[in-house]
Amino acid sequence: MTTDTTGTAARDGEPRRGGPADSPFVRACRREPGPHTPVWFMRQAGRSLPEYREIRANVGMLESCRRPDLVAEITLQPVRRHGVDAAILFSDIVVPVAAAGVDLDIVPGTGPVVAEPVRTAADVERIRPIGRDDVSYVDEAVRLLVTELGDTPLIGFAGAPFTLASYLVEGGPSRTHAKTKALMYGQPELWHALCARLAEVTLSFLRVQVDAGVSAVQLFDSWAGALSEADYRRYVLPHSATVLSGLADAGVPRIHFGVGTAELLGAMGEAGADVVGVDWRTPLDVATRRIGRDRAVQGNLDPTVLLAPWSVVETEVRRIVEQGRAAPGHVFNLGHGVLPETDPEVLTRVVALVHEVSARRAEQG
Active site positions, annotated:
43, 47, 56, 92, 167
Q: How far apart are CA 95 and CA 212, in angstroms?
A: 17
Q: Which is nearer to ligand CP3, 134 or 279 (CB)?
A: 279
Least distance from C-beta 93 to ligand CP3, angstroms? Answer: 4
Least distance from C-beta 149 to ligand CP3, angstroms? Answer: 14
Q: Which is nearer to ligand CP3, 14 or 84 (CB)?
A: 84
Q: Among positive and negative, which fits the CA dihedral 273, 17, 40, 51?
A: negative
Q: Which is nearer to ligand CP3, 112 or 246 (CB)?
A: 112
* Residue whose C-alpha is closest to residue 256's, from 218, 298, 210: 218
Q: What is the x/- site pattern for ligand CP3, positions 14-53, by CB under 6 A? A: ----------------------------xxxxxx------
Q: How far apart are CA 169 and CA 183, in angstroms?
A: 8
- Give the SS3 label for residue 40: coil
On the question of a cis peptide bond just before residue 300, with omega within 30 degrees of 0, the verdict is: yes
Q: Which one of 25, 137, 157, 162 is in contact with ligand CP3 (CB under 6 A)?
A: 157
- Give the SS3 label for residue 148: helix
Q: Which is nearer to ligand CP3, 109 or 365 (CB)?
A: 109
Least distance from C-beta 58 to ligand CP3, angstroms? Answer: 12
* Residue whose C-alpha is closest to residue 149's, from 213, 205, 208: 213
Task: Report in angstroms the alpha-carbon separations of 322 from 30, 140, 145, 317, 318.
Answer: 19, 39, 33, 9, 6
Q: E-strand spans in the chain?
A: 87-88, 104-107, 111-114, 154-159, 216-220, 254-257, 275-277, 296-301, 330-334
Q: Which is nearer to ligand CP3, 22 or 139 (CB)?
A: 139
On whether the CB atoms of residues 331 and 274 are closer than 8 A, the answer is no
> Which residues 114-133 are close enough to bind ligand CP3 by CB under 6 A?
none
Least distance from C-beta 89 to ligand CP3, angstroms? Answer: 7
Q: Which is nearer to ligand CP3, 92 or 151 (CB)?
A: 92
Non-local (6+) Cβ contacts of 361 within 8 A are none
* Residues near ligand CP3 (CB under 6 A), total: 23
Q: What is the x/- site pattern for ligand CP3, positions 49-68, by CB under 6 A? A: -------x----x-------
Q: Which one of 112, 246, 299, 324 is in contact with ligand CP3 (CB under 6 A)?
A: 112
Least distance from C-beta 116 to ligand CP3, angstroms? Answer: 18
Give me the amino acid identity at 30.
R
> Which residues 280-319 are close enough to bind ligand CP3 by CB under 6 A?
none
> Which residues 216-245 are close enough to bind ligand CP3 by CB under 6 A?
220, 222
Least distance from C-beta 16 to ligand CP3, angstroms? Answer: 25
Q: Which is nearer to ligand CP3, 1 or 61 (CB)?
A: 61
Least distance from C-beta 161 to ligand CP3, angstroms? Answer: 13
Query: Exposure pattern of 34-72 as b/e (b: 16+ CB <10 Å)?
Result: bbbbbbbbbbbbbebbeebeeebeeeebbebbbebebbb
> Which residues 80-109 are close enough to bind ligand CP3 by CB under 6 A?
88, 90, 92-93, 106, 108-109
Query: Exposure pattern of 276-310 as b/e (b: 16+ CB <10 Å)?
Result: bbbbbebbbeebbebbeeebbbbbbbbbebbeeee
Residue ranges that bind ligand CP3, judged by CB under 6 A = 42-47, 56, 61, 88, 90, 92-93, 106, 108-112, 157, 163, 220, 222, 337
